[in-house]
Amino acid sequence: DNGVDLTDPTVGDSVAPRQLGGPLVVLDGVNKYFGQLHVLQDINLTVNQGEVVVVIGPSGSGKSTLCRAINRLETIKDGSISIDGKPLPSEGKELARLRADVGMVFQAFNLFAHKTILENITLGPIKVRRTPKRTAEARARELLDRVGVANQADKYPAQLSGGQQQRVAIARALAMEPKVILFDEPTSALDPEMVNEVLEVMVDLARQGMTMIVVTHEMGFARKAANRVIFMADGAIVEEADPDTFFTAPKSERAKDFLGKIL
Ligand code: ADP
Ligand code: MG
């Protein structure tokens, strides 16, 4: 849309929202272990309504576990996580509703292979939100149009490119009308020429005020869309700052070292 290369960290004015609402996702003293491994270490994080938070850090630092904990795909040992003022439910209908409120877009596209693109998008709204089929389909077509794959509705995932599939995955998350969307390295499995088309959709969401937590090493995207960058290492939040400050003047040795490797 803007013709800007979002994989280039040196470009573009920020579209990060300036007017943020109140706390939407709140993690307070969260700890998690895998056996002996202390994978989330006393994580305190508040993401406000409309905020775009980019999470970066070395492989194995706990970024995916953090996302999974927020969606309750992982349980935590202590501390608390709340969404919109409510603690995460542990089971049943409440949990299904939580997963609808907290959209997730993964590295691998995770579409249902044996359902059409349209069915992939309408399934959640029909089952979880109890949206009538025709309404869900009309809304799905709007969303496919919004992410630029309107004419793929009746195809199957394998017939689409990786970039198209990932845009469908974003449309599927949006169809649930989530309060926040978590993105876990959404472009890292894509061929390079498809990265930008997915980042552009994400920038548009940011511009429209969607609350987003985005694990990515795409610094062009962070510069353009993030209000805040969180740097994780060894399960802890080591540093956080606005993207300009973080990328030009990181404070910790860990962050300097990491940026030196990826820049
Ligand atoms: P990141 O996304 O930052 O690469 P992860 O959250 O995937 O990091 O993993 C953090 C650490 O937890 C890594 O050391 C990883 O090997 C370990 N880990 C992740 N999932 C599991 C699991 N299900 N069982 C045991 N260890 C795990
Ligand atoms: Mg990960």
Residue 237 β-bridge partners = 232
Q: Is 103 in the pocket of ligand 1 (CB under 6 A)?
A: no
> Can you give the pLDDT at residue 5?
77
Burial of 192 from C-beta contacts in 10 A (0-12 / 13-18 / 19+): exposed
Which protein residue has the closest C-alpha to ligand 1 atom 19? 65
What residues does the ion ligand 2 have nearby, CB within 5 Å? Answer: 63-64
Q: Whose CA is nearest to atom 13 of ligand 1?
A: 60
The pLDDT value recorded for residue 228 is 96
SS3 assignment, position 89: coil
User: Does ligand 1 lie within 6 Å of residue 60's CB atom?
Assistant: yes
Q: Measured between alpha carbons, how far is 243 from 219 in angstroms, rounded to an integer?
A: 8
Q: Is 259 helix (H, G, I), strand (E, B) or coil?
A: helix
Phi-psi region of 223 (alpha: psi -120 to 50; beta: other; left: phi over 0): alpha
Instruction: Verify whether ligand 1 is closer than 6 Å to residue 33 (CB atom).
Output: no
Beta bridge partners of residue 38, listed in sequence order: 33
Q: Are 117 and 144 in contact (CB under 8 A)?
A: yes
Chain length of the chain = 263
Atom in ligand 1 nearest the alpha carbon of residue 59: 4
Using CA of residue 193, residue 143, residue 69, residue 233, what is the dihedral sign? positive
Distance of CA 90 to the CA centre of its chain: 22
185 touches ligand 1 (CB under 6 Å): no
Range list of β-strands (E), the chain: 23-34, 37-48, 52-56, 78-83, 86-87, 102-105, 180-184, 211-215, 228-233, 236-241
Listed in sequence order, the residues at least 6 apart from 161 whose beta carbon sits closer than 8 Å to its beta carbon are 194
What residue's CA is closest to ligand 1, atom 17? 60
> How many Å lie between the centroid of ligand 1 and the Cα of residue 69?
12
Q: How far is the CA of 56 from the centre of ligand 2 (A)?
A: 10
Would you say 260 and 252 are in contact if contact means Cβ atoms under 8 Å apart? no
Confidence (pLDDT) at 178:
96
State phi, psi for 116 to the nearest 5 degrees.
Answer: -70, 170
The low-confidence residues of the chain, meaning pLDDT below 70, are: 1-4, 10-12
Structure-token match 């998008």, residue found: 121
Tokens 């920038």, located at residue: 203
Candidates 236, 100, 110, 249; CA nearest to 176 is 100
Q: What are phi and psi of 15, to 5 degrees?
A: -110, 10
The reply to whether ligand 1 has any atom less than 6 angstroms from the CB of 122 is no
